[in-house]
Structure 1
């Protein structure tokens, strides 16, 4: 039986302009309010046989608030950003503009002293490939948007630079189905009504 892994993006704890590399800050009131607004639509995912989350405070809090009681998975942690950890992208650019440019231009580069983008994608993909198919067909994982982007690049076997072209919004869901080495992206949206005539 193919696995169905639904990723739920953690609620945002801050405004987009204040996002930081490897941000360990908890949900703020705005994040809690967002979770409460969408809880009704995301609550059915709690029926999944296996429920996981990233180790970040936002992911854990989002999963708990949705009633998932998720198990923390270290493999679903954010990309190791080395000395840029805790900085905003603007702060990293102000301190090391050439290094940030090199990092954005070459996915294999690690000017921050941390993890390369391909290594991050491979780590998250390795987690995806090792999900136990015999424990059930449905899995939910609450993770930071960056982790979900990495999972999608891996599942689609896309080039690493595709990572920069994927936008994952807070509290959005993304589903992949399949098994190790063969994953498909699944869209579960409501079909649009096409007028007849």
Structure 2
């Protein structure tokens, strides 16, 4: 029986704030409201045998609010953006335009002094491949959208540049089914997800 890992994207803080690299802001009222709105569809995932989350305040708070009581996994942390941490893409571009261009063009590059996109994808993929399988089972993991994009690129074995084409919305869920480097993306109706996780 295959393992099922369902990723849930953490709720975001207010859309009034620009999206920043490695943003550790906690959930604000808009984020909490989003969790409440999404909870009917996401609460059934609490039945998973293993429940994890990224170490960000938003991921932990989202998992706790949904009743997952998740275990923090450092491997699910966001990409290390080095000296760009806390900046928006626009701010980094204004300060270091050629470095940002190089980073966007080369998945092996880390001109910010942190982690390359390729290293980030492999880190998340290694976490995915080392989940306990037993006789199958179900896992839920709450993480930042960037982490879920990295997991999808790894699992589907697509070029790293695909990362930039994936749009993972807050409080969305996607399931990967398989094990040991052989993963399949699974889309389900809400009814199926409620009945089978």
Aligned-residue offset at 1:44: 0.2
From the superposition, tell whether residues 16 and 149 of structure 1 become closer, same or farther in structure 2 (CA, over 3 Å).
farther
- Equivalent positions of 1:134-173 (< 5 A) are 134=134, 137-173=137-173
Q: Give ranges in structure 1 of 5+ residues lacking alignment.
A: 192-197
Q: Deviations over 1:161-192 (max 9, x none)?
A: 1100100000000100000110000011369x
Which residue does 1:122 correspond to in 2?
Answer: 122
Q: Deviations over 1:98-146 (max 9, x none)?
A: 1111111111111100001110000000000000012851000000000
- Does residue 53 (structure 1) correspond to residue 58 (structure 2)? The answer is no
Which residue does 2:6 correspond to in 1?
Answer: 6
From the superposition, tell whether residues 17 and 107 of structure 1 become closer, same or farther in structure 2 (CA, over 3 Å).
farther
Which residue does 1:186 correspond to in 2?
Answer: 186
* Separation in 2, partners of 1:55, 1:135: 28
Q: Given the two structures, how large is their TM-score scaled by the length of structure 1?
A: 0.94
- Does residue 100 (structure 1) correspond to residue 96 (structure 2)? The answer is no
1:54 and 1:60 in contact (8 A); partners too: yes
Which residue does 2:195 correspond to in 1?
Answer: none
Q: How many residues were matched structurally?
A: 191
2:14 and 2:29 in contact (8 A); partners too: no
1:50 and 1:136 in contact (8 A); partners too: no
Q: Secondary structure at the match of 1:134?
A: coil
Q: Deviations over 1:53-111 (max 9, x none)?
A: 00000000000000000000000000000000011111111111111111111111111
Which residue does 1:81 correspond to in 2?
Answer: 81
Q: Secondary structure at the match of 2:134?
A: helix
Q: Secondary structure at the match of 1:155?
A: helix
Q: Given the two structures, how large is their TM-score scaled by the length of structure 2?
A: 0.94
1:102 and 1:109 in contact (8 A); partners too: yes
* Separation in 2, partners of 1:16, 1:147: 22
